[in-house]
Amino acid sequence: MITAEQNDLITRVGAGTPAGTLLRHYWQPVALAEELAPERPIRAVRLMGQDLVLFRDDEGRLGLIDRDCPHRGADLAYGRLEHGGLRCAFHGWLFDVNGACLETPAEPEGSKLHTRIRQKSYPVVERSGIIFGYLGEGEPPALPAFDCFVAPDTHTFAFKGLFECNWLQALEVGIDPAHASFLHRFFEDEDSSAGYGKQFRSTSADSDMPITRVLREFYRPEIRVDPTDYGMRLTALRELSEQNRHVRVTNMVFPQAIVIPMSAEMTISQWHVPVDDTHCYWYAIFTSFTEPVNKEQMRAQRLELYELPNYTSRKNKRNNYGFDVHEQLNRTYTGMGHDINVHDQWAIESQGAIQDRTRENLGATDIGISHYRRMLRNAIDAMNQGKPLPMQLAPEQAEQMRGPASIDGVSSTQQGPEEYWQEADRTRRNASSWAQAWQL
């Protein structure tokens, strides 16, 4: 339980707020590369309450600039891409990717007005299907050499989806290993061969026990939290028998990403990105250590739930998330279908637009959450005192920051969990066509 002031401190992200200023020290996903359609690569984006326009100019350079035209405030997202920039549709002022005003065509011949005009622009970088922007002051930090960034394009797939609630709730469900045994419980196990591209649907590594059974029958995990240089590692242990232990290793990457196993082959690196205080997008990179990702299948699966152009969920509070009484009685814990994204969406949206944390009561399983909130508050304090922040990486540090290991497997109880996941990670890397070079 925290005070209303403490809750505001860690949830509000508008310009000038403490958490908002902190998050602006980091690269943030602003769009999927696929959102910049080839015929007109312009997209309005909203990030932490700021309205921006993202575009690719006629030379292929990416630009991210404020959305309101510095002439008289018209919407640049309706502009025209021509002559090396984005042209406002109102009076034709032209801006390049750096926000320089190149032309003010209605002004008198020889006018120098354009030399005094500048639109605010932000650094942009495209990695593994996601376009990241940097809204902070000064130089952006380097991106780490995580698997999702170093894997070849053939082995990654990116997607996103909207949650109608504050970003912190979305992040907190990802650092809560206990919920999977309840929220995502299925009363029957399916043929795991139909589990491609889905989480909690196949078997764990080194085991033929369906993960659905592990979660259902062993619902009281021991949860360990270890601080790391990138944030924290969560280890959830489930003793399956005297001989076997289920080990699930997930990670929080500061400030708002998680890296988790999806199946024995794939991991998910997921950012929870505030649109404003009461909406957020999850952006995920799915990374395969084995075969190239079947992108068409992954995309088609996700488009069953998410609707373009805004990646909104077809199941939402306006249709009770598809809740079905008979399904809840007979087949799933929630009665909301088999897509675990819907379960998570219901869980966090039903906490309220911004969860009122003055009324919560954390338990022992919430250790990851309390640890994370402490990290966030400490980082805000450090920022206010001008001290160094976590994950502000120089290029040489970024090169050394790898993985992070995300493992879901069954080990012998003879072996310590740490030893097990390190070995499982090594084995997976050594068998991979690309990850071998990126040993931890």
- Per CB under 5 A, residues contacting Fe ion are 344
By CB under 6 A, name the one of 10, 47, 48, 88 that touches ligand FES: 88
DSSP type of residue 68: B
Going from the C-alpha of 203 to that of each of 212, 215, 250, 282, 437, the distances in angstroms are: 8, 11, 17, 25, 27
78 binds ligand FES (CB under 6 A): no
Three-class SS state of 75: strand
Q: Which does 344 bind (CB under 5 to 8 A by kind): Fe ion, ligand FES, none?
A: Fe ion
Q: Which is nearer to ligand FES, 66 or 418 (CB)?
A: 66
- The CB-of-93 to ligand FES minimum distance in angstroms stands at 4
Q: Yes or no: say if 124 and 133 are a contact pair by the CB < 8 Å rule.
A: yes
- The CB-of-70 to ligand FES minimum distance in angstroms stands at 8
74 binds ligand FES (CB under 6 A): yes
72 binds ligand FES (CB under 6 A): yes
- The CB-of-31 to ligand FES minimum distance in angstroms stands at 23
120 binds ligand FES (CB under 6 A): no
- The CB-of-99 to Fe ion minimum distance in angstroms stands at 40
- The CB-of-334 to Fe ion minimum distance in angstroms stands at 11
93 binds ligand FES (CB under 6 A): yes
Does the N-terminal peptide bond of residue 70 adopt cis geometry, omega within 30 degrees of 0? Answer: no
Going from the C-alpha of 295 to that of each of 127, 151, 431, the distances in angstroms are: 16, 14, 22
Q: Which does 338 bind (CB under 5 to 8 A by kind): Fe ion, ligand FES, none?
A: none
Q: What is the distance between the alpha carbons of residues 389 and 19, in angstroms, rounded to a whole number? A: 13
By CB under 6 A, name the one of 45, 69, 168, 211 that touches ligand FES: 69
Stretch that binds ligand FES, among 90-98, 159-167, 317-325, 396-404 (CB under 6 A): 90-98
Q: What is the distance between the alpha carbons of residues 274 and 14, in angstroms, rounded to a whole number? A: 9
Q: What is the distance between the alpha carbons of residues 254 and 372, in angstroms, rounded to a whole number? A: 9
CB atoms within 10 A of CB 392: 14
Cα end-to-end span (Å), the chain: 37
Q: Which does 314 bind (CB under 5 to 8 A by kind): Fe ion, ligand FES, none?
A: none
398 binds ligand FES (CB under 6 A): no
Strands 50-56 and 62-66, by their bridges, are antiparallel
- Nearest residue to 412 (alpha-carbon basis) of 211, 226, 220, 205: 205
Stretch that binds ligand FES, among 89-97, 107-115, 238-246, 343-351 (CB under 6 A): 89-97
Binding site for ligand FES (CB under 6 A): 69, 71-72, 74, 88, 90-91, 93
